Amino acid sequence: MKAIVLKTFGGIEQLSYEEIEKPEIKANEVLIQVKALSINPVDVKVRNRQAPLAEDLARYQPLILGWDISGEIIEKGAVVTQFAIGDEVFGMVNFPGHGRGYAEYVAASADQLALKPQHITHTEAAASTLAALTAWQAFDSYGKLRPTDRVLIHAASGGVGHFAVQIAKYIGAHVIATASAANKDFVLGLGADEYIDYRSTAFEKVLQPVDFVLEAIGGVNFQKSVQVLKPFGTIVTLPSGYTEADVWKAQEKQLHACYFMSVYSNGDDMRTIASLLEKGGLKPYISHIFEFDELGKAHQQLETGRTVGKVVVKL
């Protein structure tokens, strides 16, 4: 099968289009013929060896990045009962771990997948995996967002943010979204109640206190976000690095909870995402679609830090 192997950590030139053996499945796994995959900042950070996960993955040879896939089941293991051959499924495979998603065929644990809703395409399904799960787990597993909450969502136009705005509105919360002026209409169109242009306005100076922050930038932005929380508020932060100063800032304030989260593969959560997609409570926005042999270009797009919604790769 064709796969994109990471030869060594580094630039996009290390992503190599190669012919390798199809994976063999274990009893609890299915083999998926991949129709589309999506990428996330973590793909770029692992490729550059900037994410802690890269150290765990360094031992794999060949190392194949990618976790977000949508496709069709072509083989199933002996103990898999929830899916049949021919089912169309999507999910975030083996995260954090060796996902091997940049490939024509992926072996995936059946309990990390959900049936793809019939009305959406594989590109839409592949987009609605890691980023959507992150938003859902931030509001449902790490924190508990309540319908009466005021929630501040940073980077609301990005992969995670655009799902987070929709999920927070689905829960019933009042959403304040940050983005640059170019993305104002986009985030308001997702359902945000208020919008702050983070480039022209210091959100910590204008915002009435909030109950919950989904923090996607890190550093000073984290510390300013703690300032705008009500006592007993919750902050969930996404970037992998945080400093002792961040922890002190959070401890100074009497918070209900402060999480430095890490999204994890989970079939129940994938089924929730599938159900939200089915009910219309969630819709992925895909700004860029690349061909499989253009995966390096897809990484370059994410590296701009300016992506609106999701970047997807078709097979």
Ligand X SMILES: NC(=O)c1ccc[n+]([C@@H]2O[C@H](COP(=O)([O-])OP(=O)(O)OC[C@H]3O[C@@H](n4cnc5c(N)ncnc54)[C@H](OP(=O)(O)O)[C@@H]3O)[C@@H](O)[C@H]2O)c1
What residue ranges bind ligand X (CB under 6 A)? 40-42, 131, 134, 154-155, 157-161, 178-180, 182-183, 198, 216-217, 238-240, 261-263, 302, 305-308
User: Please, which residues bridge with residue 30 across strands?
Assistant: 76, 108
Structure tokens at 299: 């990484």
Cβ atoms of 92 and 114 within 8 Å: the answer is no
What is the spatial distance between Cα 38 and Cα 82, in angstroms, rounded to a whole number?
Answer: 24
C-alpha torsion angle, residues 133, 138, 140, 144 (rounded to 10):
-170
Closer by beta carbon to ligand X, 27 or else 182: 182
Residue 128 CA to residue 124 CA, distance in Å, equals 6
Q: Which is nearer to ligand X, 62 or 239 (CB)?
A: 239
CB of 75 to ligand X, least distance (A): 30
DSSP sequence for 165-180: HHHHHHHT-EEEEEE-
Measured from the CB atom, is 158 or 233 closer to ligand X?
158
Q: Cβ 240 to ligand X, closest distance in Å? A: 6
- What does residue 234 show for φ and ψ, rounded to 5 degrees? -125, 135
Give the nearer residue to ligand X in terms of CB position, either 29 or 68. 68
**Please, what is the minimum distance in Å from the beta carbon of residue 77 to ligand X?**
28
Q: Which is nearer to ligand X, 28 or 300 (CB)?
A: 300
- The nearer residue to ligand X, 26 or 144, going by C-beta atoms, is 144
For residues 293 and 314, give the distance between their C-alpha atoms in angstroms, rounded to a whole number.
9
DSSP category for residue 94: S
Contact 307, 288 (CB under 8 A): yes
Q: How far is the CB of 226 from ligand X (least distance, A)?
A: 16
CB of 9 to ligand X, least distance (A): 16
Cα(290)–Cα(65) distance, integer angstroms:
16
> For ligand X, which is the closer residue by CB, 266 or 307?
307
Q: How far is the CB of 126 from ligand X (least distance, A)?
A: 14
- Residue 248: CB minimum distance to ligand X, A: 21
Q: Is the Cβ–Cβ distance between 261 and 133 less than 8 Å?
A: no
Nearer to ligand X, 16 or 201 (CB): 201
**Six-digit token string for 227:** 């300032």
Q: How far is the CB of 96 from ligand X (least distance, A)?
A: 8
Q: What is the 3-state secondary structure of 7-65?
A: CCCCCHHHEEEEECCCCCCCCCEEEEEEEEEEECHHHHHHHCCCCCHHHHHCCCCCECC
Residue of this chain nearest to ligand X (CB atom): 158
How far is it, in rounded angstroms, from Cα 294 to Cα 281?
A: 32
Q: On the CB side of 74, how many CA atoms lie within 13 Å of its CA? A: 14
